[in-house]
Amino acid sequence: MVYRCLNAPYTDWPERFPPLQRGVLHAAESNDALLVSLENVYGYGPTGGRPMTEDLPLAATTAKGRTRAAMTEELLAASDAGRVRIAIGRASDFFGAGVTESTLGERAFANALRGRRADFLGDPSLPHTYSYVPDIAAGLATLGTDECAVGAVWHLPGPETVTTGQLLEILAREVGHPVEVRSVPRLVVRALGLVNPMMRALAEMSYEFDEPFVLDTGA
C-alpha cells in the first residue's frame, strides 16, 4: 500500500507537482500496490456557493485548479486501464498541529496564540469547511483498509462546517483572550501579488473565500 500525501511548493504547483505524483504512481504500479492519494478540492473550481459533492465535474478555472484536475484524471485513467488500484480522499483547507502555511496557519492561529491580529483573506462571515489533520489521517487509513473505497473518490469527514468567524471565536475561548480579525480585501491581495509570488498564488484561489465553501462529506 502506498499513501501519496506529497505537496509541491505552492508557487510552483503546475511545474513541480505532477512529476511528484507520477513518481509515486510508477512506484505503486511497479509493486502492485494500492495507491491512496490525498487531494484538495481545487479541481472543482467555483461552485456558486453550492456544496461540493464527489460527483461534481472538475471544472477548475485557475492554474492550480487545472493542475489538480489533470492529476486526478491521470490517476483515474491509470485505474480505468487496470494499471493500478487507487482510492482518492479529498479534504478542504487544513488546520491542526504543525500546519503553518494554510489559511488557519501562521497568519491566523499562530497570530492569535501570540495575542496578535488574525489575518484572513476574504469574508469570514461565510460558511467554510476546514479539515482537521488527524481526521484526514483517519480517513485516509480507512480508504486504505476498506475494499469498498477502491476505485472511487471520497470526501474525508471532519468538523461541522461553520463560518470562519465562528471558528475563530472558538479559538478565542481556547486561548483565553479576544482574537481580532483583519479581513484583507481581494484587490489588496492582487496588488501585493504583483511583487510577491506567494500573494499572487493566494489571489488566484480567492474565490474560495468570497462565497460559501462547503464540503459535503455525507458519502
Tens digit of each residue's pLDDT (9 = 90 or more) over 54-69: 999 999 999 999 999 9
Residue 218 lies in a domain: no
The predicted pLDDT at position 26 comes to 97
List, in sequence order, every residue forming a beta bridge with 103; answer none if it has no partner: none
Residue 215 covered by a domain: no
pLDDT for res 139: 98
- As a whole number, mean pLDDT of residues 176-196 equals 77
Cβ-based neighbour number of residue 23 at 10 Å: 12
The mean pLDDT value for 106-131 works out to 89
Task: With beta carbons less than 8 A apart as the criterion, state whether 193 and 130 touch.
Answer: no
Share of the chain above pLDDT 70, in %: 97
Q: In the predicted model, is pLDDT for residue 3 greater than 80?
A: yes
CA-angle at 155, arms to 150 and 156, nearest 5° = 95
Residue 42 has pLDDT above 70, yes or no: yes
Question: Does 10 fall in a domain?
Answer: yes
CATH code for the domain in which residue 173 is found? 3.40.50.720
Residue 10's Cβ-side half-sphere holds a number of Cα atoms within 13 Å equal to 16
Cell match 476546514: residue?
A: 130
- Average pLDDT in the 1-25 region? 95
Asked, for residue 217, whether it belongs to a domain, the answer is: no
Q: What percent of the chain has pLDDT over 90?
A: 69
With respect to residue 216, please indicate whether it lies within any of the assigned structural domains. Answer: no
The pLDDT value given to residue 192: 67
- For the chain, what is the domain count? 1
| Structural domain contains residue 7 | yes
More confident residue, 171 or 68: 68
* Contact present, 168 and 181 (Cβ < 8 Å): yes
Domain that includes residue 143, residue range:
2-209
**How does DSSP assign 37-80, residue by residue?**
EEE-SGGG---TTPPB-TTS-----SHHHHHHHHHHHHHHHHHH
Reported confidence tier of residue 37, pLDDT bands at 50, 70, 90: very high
Bigger pLDDT: 45 or 109? 45
Please say if the pLDDT value at position 191 is more than 90: no
